[in-house]
């Protein structure tokens, strides 16, 4: 969170003087139905069409051969809604009525996100619940709640097998894709058992600790032979100190045990392919059975908004998802794949809604690509979030107003002010770096609230915006997807998915 916030603040510092209030005016609404000019008859027809589609929808009560779990890190309901509007507006359409690929998934449930010990959880405990079927303490991975965070010795004998480990035991092949570090909390939950999510490299272990760091666990994972693809960021945790990063001259590995885990992975996988840039990704043979390890950044991959400016280039989340499905799909025994949109969370922590929504739209594109590629007769696709954020959509903006604009405007496009005489934006945060510590708040009508680096105003000043504790959504398509309904515990996702896989 700290590195992300620093990045966002540095980027903000480099901006030229902001443009003024014309960026906040509501978008002109064209007289067509795509831009919101529906009649009462149109709305009635839309409602009837949705009813008829549901009445005609067949229910597949079978078992699944394959499972894809999409996790939008921090993608709460407000993020889904705002991203839907932004996706439509980017395409020049009426964003409010757009139906995304996630929207179109037929089955849904609300999911409780508390951890064993916190009302508002972190990604380690929530991702662990999804893939192990039990809640654990916040900050821990793949352990029962009998272990204690940060206490290496307390983890002995407390490992909980993950869905990925059990799928490998059933002969299925595995894949991990993330825009965060591949050792970060959510993807690490698939393979790691750790009393602290921060132990990504041995240099982050407590002095004298006998626990294995997370990067080492990935390379030494007993199920690694079934792991056909792992794509994300996080090179430094695999590289020894003093070894120069291949992309950035000022960066190097951070391992103090002198181990080169990338070299060790290559030795364990003599036919495998290690890649770290877009050109190497583009040259991969998706039909090859050779495993792939892709580490595209020293830390997290770029935000989607910044990806085109990356020095060595990076694949999009949709491109990585497509490669994973093609590569794993040739397995006769089936596969289990996790795809994480990890940087939605990081942008929210930085109070930067624009980047958060751009990454959510990129995540939606990956879901759409998967649904286009797979056979839903044998593949269960789940889309969920590990937790939410204190991200709000407020005020009374007219339909068609830019999602990044002012919340309340008159029919003439003039802002409606709050009690301090200033307008406010539709998007905001309950806490975060956008809050003022001293003095009156800024006037957003005099700022470019559309700017990529704009930090939305927040109520409580904190160095980084926090997670939120409300329920999130799980959407489901494929065999027995109807079992995802009502309100469920987060760890029930594991049990339902495992049942549908017939394991």
Domains by residue range for the chain, with CATH: 66-390+470-501 (3.40.720.10)
**Nearest CA among 342, 349, 347 for reference residue 366:** 342
CA 133 to chain centre: 20
pLDDT (0 to 100) of residue 36: 56
Q: At what angle do helices 123-132 and 492-501 cross, to 10 degrees?
A: 30
- What CA dihedral angle connects 424, 425, 429 and 435, to 10 degrees? -50
Per-residue pLDDT of the chain (503 residues), as tens digits, is: 333 334 343 333 333 222 223 333 333 333 344 555 789 999 999 999 999 999 999 899 999 999 999 999 999 999 999 999 999 999 999 999 999 999 999 999 999 999 999 999 999 999 999 999 999 999 999 999 999 999 999 999 999 999 999 999 999 999 999 999 999 999 999 999 999 999 999 999 999 899 999 999 999 999 999 999 999 999 999 999 999 999 999 999 999 999 999 999 999 999 999 999 999 999 999 999 999 999 999 999 999 999 999 989 999 999 999 999 999 999 999 999 999 999 999 999 999 999 999 999 999 999 999 999 999 999 999 999 999 999 999 999 989 999 999 998 777 777 789 999 999 999 999 999 999 999 999 999 999 999 999 999 999 999 999 999 999 999 999 999 999 999 999 999 999 999 999 99
Closest CA to 180 of 245, 105, 123, 108: 123
Going by the DSSP 8-state scheme, the letter that residue 258 receives in this structure is -
**All residues at 6 or more sequence positions from 487 whose CB lies less than 8 Å from its CB, including other chains:** 109, 110, 111, 112, 471
Contact (CB, 8 A) for 73 and 363: no
In degrees, rounded to 5, the angle at the alpha carbon of residue 137 between the alpha carbons of residues 78 and 481 is 50
HEC letters along 76-122:
CHHHHHHHHHHHHHHCCCCHHHCCCHHHHCCEEEEEECCCCCCCCCC
What the block records as the tokens of 5 is 């916030």
Q: What are phi and psi of 120, to 5 degrees?
A: -110, 115
The two tokens of residue 487 are 């309100």
Q: What pLDDT does residue 1 have?
A: 39
Token pair recorded at residue 9: 């603040």
Query: 432-456 b/e with 16+ CB inside 10 Å = b?
Result: bbbbeeeeeeeebbebbbbbbbbbb
Q: How many CB atoms lie within 10 A of CB 364?
A: 25
Q: 260 is written with which tokens?
A: 């080169």
Biggest alpha carbon–alpha carbon distance for the chain: 71
pLDDT at position 415: 77
pLDDT at 34: 52
- Contact assessment for residue 7 and residue 347, using Cβ atoms and an 8 Å cutoff: no
Return the number of other C-beta atoms located less than 10 Å from residue 44's C-beta.
Answer: 11
Q: Is 123 a residue of the active site?
A: yes
Distance set, CA 452 to CA 9, 245, 295, 355, 424 (Å): 12, 28, 26, 7, 18
Instruction: Order across the sheet with 173-181: list the strands.
Output: 273-275, 292-295, 227-233, 173-181, 335-341, 66-72, 379-384, 472-477, 107-112, 487-489
H helices, E strands: number in the chain: 14, 15
Q: How many CA atoms lie within 13 A of 378 on its CB side?
A: 11
Bridge partner residues of 406 (DSSP): 425
Residue 107 β-bridge partners:
476
> Nearest 5°: phi and psi at 260?
-105, 95
Q: What is the pTM of this model?
A: 0.92
Nearest to residue 227, comparing CAs of 183, 282, 177? 177
d(CA 90, CA 186): 29
Handedness of CA 43, 45, 46, 48 (dihedral sign): positive
DSSP state of 454: P
Using DSSP, state whether 53 is helix, strand or coil: helix
Q: Which of 121, 123, 201, 316 is catalytic?
A: 123
Residue pair 388/79 in contact by the 8 Å Cβ criterion: yes
CA angle 132, 136, 139 (to 5 degrees): 110
- H/E element holding 187? helix 185-188
Structure tokens at 17: 């003087």
Closest CA to 433 of 476, 387, 474, 464: 464
Instruction: Indicate the DSSP class of residue 223.
Output: T
Q: What is the pLDDT of residue 71?
A: 99
- Interhelix angle 317-328/353-373, rounded to 10 degrees, is 30
pLDDT at 412: 75
């Amino acid at each position: 969170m700290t590195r992300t916030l620093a990045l966002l603040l540095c980027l903000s510092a480099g901006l030229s003087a902001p443009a003024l209030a014309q960026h906040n005016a509501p978008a002109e609404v064209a007289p067509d139905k795509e831009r919101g000019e529906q009649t009462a008859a149109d709305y009635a027809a839309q409602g009837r069409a949705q009813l008829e589609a549901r009445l005609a929808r067949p229910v597949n009560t079978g078992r699944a051969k394959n499972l894809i779990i999409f996790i939008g890190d921090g993608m709460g309901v407000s993020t889904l809604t705002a991203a839907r509007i932004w996706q439509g507006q980017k395409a020049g359409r009426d964003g409010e009525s757009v139906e995304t690929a996630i929207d179109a998934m037929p089955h849904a449930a609300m999911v409780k996100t508390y951890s064993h010990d916190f009302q508002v959880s972190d990604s380690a405990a929530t991702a662990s619940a999804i893939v192990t079927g039990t809640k654990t303490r916040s900050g821990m991975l793949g352990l029962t709640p009998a272990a204690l965070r940060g206490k290496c010795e307390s983890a002995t004998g407390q490992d909980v097998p993950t869905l990925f480990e059990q799928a490998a035991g059933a002969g299925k092949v595995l894949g991990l894709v993330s825009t965060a570090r591949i050792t970060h909390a959510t993807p690490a939950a698939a393979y790691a058992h750790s009393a602290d999510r921060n132990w990504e490299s041995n240099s982050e272990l407590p002095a004298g600790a006998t626990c294995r760091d997370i990067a080492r666990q990935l390379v030494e994972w007993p199920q690694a032979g079934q792991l056909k693809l792992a794509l994300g960021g996080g090179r430094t945790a695999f590289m020894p100190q003093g070894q120069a990063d291949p992309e950035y001259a000022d960066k190097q590995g951070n391992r103090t045990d002198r181990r080169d885990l990338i070299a060790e992975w290559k030795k364990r996988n003599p036919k495998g392919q290690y890649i770290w840039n877009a050109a190497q990704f583009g040259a991969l043979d998706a039909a090859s059975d050779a495993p792939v390890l892709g580490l595209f950044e020293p830390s997290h991959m770029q935000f989607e908004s910044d990806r085109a400016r990356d020095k060595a280039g990076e694949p999009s989340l949709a491109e990585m998802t497509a490669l994973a499905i093609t590569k794993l799909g040739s397995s006769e025994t089936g596969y289990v794949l996790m795809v994480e949109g990890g940087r939605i969370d990081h942008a929210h922590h930085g109070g930067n809604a624009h980047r958060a929504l751009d990454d959510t739209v990129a995540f939606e594109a990956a879901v759409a690509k998967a649904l286009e590629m797979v056979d839903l007769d044998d593949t269960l696709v789940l889309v969920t979030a590990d937790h939410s954020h204190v991200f709000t959509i407020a005020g009374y903006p007219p339909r068609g107003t830019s999602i990044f604009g002012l919340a309340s405007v008159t029919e003439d496009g003039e802002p409606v002010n709050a009690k301090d005489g200033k307008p406010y934006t539709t998007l905001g945060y309950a806490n975060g770096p956008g809050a003022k510590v001293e003095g009156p708040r800024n006037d957003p009508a005099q700022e470019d609230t559309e700017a990529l680096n704009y930090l939305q105003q927040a109520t409580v000043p904190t160095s980084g915006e926090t997670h939120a504790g409300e329920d999130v959504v799980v959407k489901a398509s494929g065999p027995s997807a109807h079992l995802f309904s009502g309100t469920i515990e987060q760890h029930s996702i594991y049990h339902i998915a495992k049942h549908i896989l017939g394991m």
